[in-house]
């Protein structure tokens, strides 16, 4: 019976609906996020912005997230490890604490993202989201 619920009927029945996470793909989305609010953390930088109503018409209530690591982070192996860690903290934290209709970009830091304590990174993302959303 729970499989028959649409998001609107689930919300009216009191069930919690987890917003969908969508990965940012287009450069323009990353550039818009670069002009948004920045929250520095020890292992990463969070950029967050609320989308306009006409952006992402296919998923207006989704949480969109992007990941980037420059060559300053290290060689390809180190950058890929850093991005994997950023993706994992986003999967763990954003559905519960992120806001629907927002874009988030996580930027890796040199010599920190790939080696920083993972539980501390999750706590840092939670703290950064609280700062963004007040």
Task: Report pLDDT digits (tens) over 91-129.
Answer: 999 999 999 889 999 999 998 998 999 999 999 999 999
Tokens at 106, concatenated = 């996580």
Torsions phi, psi of 110, nearest 5? -60, 135
Q: Is 1 helix (H, G, I), strand (E, B) or coil?
A: coil
- Pairwise pLDDT comparison (28 vs 18), residue with the higher score: 28
Domains annotated for the chain, with CATH where assigned, are 17-133 (3.30.230.10)
Cα–Cα distance, 94 to 45 (Å, whole number): 15
Beta-carbon neighbour count of residue 19 at 10 Å?
19
Enumerate residues 6+ apart whose C-beta is below 8 A from 50: 99, 101, 102, 103
pLDDT at 3: 45
pLDDT at 4: 44
**Distance separating the N- and C-terminal Cα atoms of the chain:** 37
Q: 103, 79, 85, 84: which is closest to 21 by C-alpha?
A: 103
Q: What is the pLDDT of residues 33-49, one digit of tens each?
A: 999 999 999 999 999 99
Checking if the pLDDT of 11 tops 60, the result is no
Tokens 């029945």 found at: 13
pTM, rounded to two decimals:
0.83
Contact by Cβ (8 Å): 97, 46: no
pLDDT at 52: 86
Checking if the pLDDT of 84 tops 90, the result is yes
């Amino acid at each position: 019976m729970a499989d028959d619920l649409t998001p609107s009927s689930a919300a009216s029945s009191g069930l919690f609906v987890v917003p969908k996470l969508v990965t940012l793909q287009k450069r323009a989305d990353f550039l818009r996020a670069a002009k948004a609010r920045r929250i520095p953390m020890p292992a990463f930088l969070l950029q967050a912005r609320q989308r306009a109503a006409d952006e992402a018409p296919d998923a207006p209530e989704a949480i969109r997230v992007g990941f980037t690591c420059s060559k300053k982070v290290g060689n390809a192996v180190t950058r890929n490890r850093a991005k994997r860690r950023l993706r994992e903290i986003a999967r763990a934290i954003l559905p519960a604490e992120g806001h629907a209709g927002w874009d988030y970009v996580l930027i890796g830091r040199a010599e920190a993202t790939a080696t920083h304590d993972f539980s501390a990174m999750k706590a840092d993302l939670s703290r950064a989201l609280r700062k963004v959303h007040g």
